[in-house]
Structure 1
Amino acid sequence: MLVNRTRTLGAIAGLLGGALLLAGCGQPAAAPAAQDGATQAAGVAPGRSPIQASGSTSTHSDQQHTDGDDSRQTASTDANQKSTSTNVARQPTGTECSAKDFKVDLNVQPSQPGVLLMAVSNTSQKVCKLNGWADVAPVDMSGAPHTNVPVQKVKIPGGPTEFSLDPGETGFAGVRVERGDKADPDTVVATGFNVTLPGTGGPVNANIIGTDGTQTGNGSLYAEFPVKAMKIGTLQPVSQGVTVFD
């Protein structure tokens, strides 16, 4: 029992102080949209016969010239339609998946006490759409959420961005925990966090990864956070800037 208590205190110190840099999470690679080529109509020059009367030749030529203009106009319209279809294809696609389709890791940042890098991975076999903020709730040892903790959603690194995650891809967000004193009645002690992604309809029990690689998910880490307030950044397709809090 004494040995376990010593390991527990060591794990807590590693979480709150931070010493080692975590391994970087993979970033989704954006696939370039296919480009459709516009079809160009070829005009046909009107033929001339030496035995045709001049009036008849002119009328026939004018009619073919008109047909050529109509053909070019149709080709231009088709090209514009194809261009519009290409632009639409570049927009994020996918569905709002359920909680069971995601895995959430909260990575302790070694040089930023109280800051966690949230990594949201699509573990399903379908494309999932994300947009906005995740709801993050600190929980106690029984898994019950602390509902009285002030949580502020901030535009870091920017406003909401709609994007899609292919199977196996990961999105990111930053979480900042304002740590308090355990003796402060406005401070709660959290041993974990529930994360609810927008549109998923339920929480995901986040796996906390310490600076030394130990995890709550496999029982090698015991996490303890004295939480007074929290800030949550927007979900983004890349990790750049998501943990840069003011």
Structure 2
Amino acid sequence: MLLNRTRTLGAISGLVGGALLLAGCGQPAAAPQNTQGNADASAPAAGIAPGEFQPGKPAGEGKPSAGTTAGGQATGSGQRTTGAKCTSSDFKVDLNVQPDRPGVLLMALTNKSQKTCDLNGWATVTPLDMSNSTIDAPTQQVEIPGSPTDFSLAPGETGFAGVLIEFGDTGDSNTFVATGFQVGVPGASDAVNATIFGTDGTNTGNGGLYAEFPIKSMKVGSLQPVAQGVTVFD
């Protein structure tokens, strides 16, 4: 496969169920990004408490965002924290390849704004080709791990959803090769490019990872305040 790129790629980082992940030449493996917003972003992975969400970790190892419970309730107050309907640009979006689970991605949306944001429903996930143009791949919204949950994210807090990609044959006209994804939050008219994390911590945000996904179709789960169960597809 000819990769039309401006820089030379190094060794193959991983081939996950048909998804090609290449690590950039001379790029060290990046430390997993802190998407919780409650720890020093420069802290090494070893300093992350057991059970805290980390890119590349299975979804079951996530935990509630700081200051909220699984029901989106503010801890210690008994009152749900309400906020505003935010735009997609208020969030940083990571898509984390799940080890030994072909086609499964854990989506993490971190509120990078200075306001509390309300979420309820499904994020839109649109594949992008090498020219950054959108790809019209069949996509289904599914109630996994359940129906949508109305919850709020304070600045620095993270919400989650699962994405399942059905891989196809690149020789099939119904298969679309994606090198990235654009994500929009419910009710917003804008969308942002997601950062893809490999299982070794390398990512597309710093040029350390090149990813290709031969997509036949996709399923997107509902947004939830915790990571447990969001990638448990049938």
TM bin (shorter chain)? 0.7 to 0.9
Describe the superposition over 1:218-243 as per-residue Cα deviations: whole angstroms up to 9, x where unpaired. Answer: 00000000000000000000000000
- Checking the alignment, whether the CA contact within 8 Å between 1:12 and 1:224 is kept in structure 2 is no
Gapped runs of 5+ residues in structure 2? Answer: 22-54, 69-73
Does residue 34 (structure 1) correspond to residue 77 (structure 2)? The answer is yes
- Deviation sequence 1:112-138 (CA, Å, 0-9, x none): 110000000000110001000001011
Q: Distance in 1 between matches of 2:77 and 2:209?
A: 46
Q: Which amino acid aligns with 1:100?
A: S
Name whichever of 199-208 and 124-133 sits farther off.
199-208
RMSD: 2.2
Which TM-score applies when normalising by structure 2? 0.74
Pair 1:154-2:154 in alignment = no
- Structure 1 residue runs of 5 or longer lacking an equivalent are 36-89
Alignment of 1:163-242 (within 5 A): 163-242=151-230
Amino acid at match of 1:171: G
Q: TM-score, normalised by structure 1?
A: 0.70
Amino acid in structure 1 at the alignment position of 2:96: N
Q: Does structure 2 conserve the Cα–Cα contact (< 8 Å) formed by 1:17 and 1:113?
A: no
Computing the radius of gyration from Cα coordinates, the structure with the larger value is 1
User: Quick one: which of 136, 143, 158 aligns to 2:125?
Assistant: 136
Cα contact 2:89–2:191 (8 A) shared by 1 = no
Please say if residues 171 and 235 of structure 1, whose CA atoms lie closer than 8 Å, have aligned partners that are also in contact.
yes
Residues 3-37 of structure 1 show CA distances to partners (whole Å, capped at 9, x for unaligned) of 93453xx135258389xx824666413233537xx
Stretches of 4+ aligned residues off by more than 3 angstroms: 14-18, 23-27
Shift of the 214–25 alpha-carbon distance from structure 1 to 2, 3 Å rule, reads farther
SS in 2 for 1:175: strand
2:92 to 82, 103, 107: 103
Seq. identity, %: 56
Task: Report SS of the residue matched to 1:124.
Answer: coil
Larger relative helix fraction:
1
In structure 2, how many angstroms separate the alpha carbons of the residues matched to 1:14 and 1:219? 19
Partner amino acid, structure 1, of 2:77: A
Cα offset, 1:91, TM superposition: 3.5
| 2:44 match | none
- Higher share of residues assigned strand: 2
Shift in CA distance, 34/109, structure 1 to aligned 2, threshold 3 Å: closer
The CA distance in 2 between the partners of 1:17 and 1:193, in whole Å, is 15
Instruction: Determine which of 4, 23, 28 is the counterpart of 2:8.
Output: 4
Answer yes or no: is the 8 Å Cα contact 2:63–2:227 preserved in 1: no
Looking at structure 1, the residues matched to 175 and 20 of structure 2 have their Cα atoms a distance apart, in angstroms, of 18
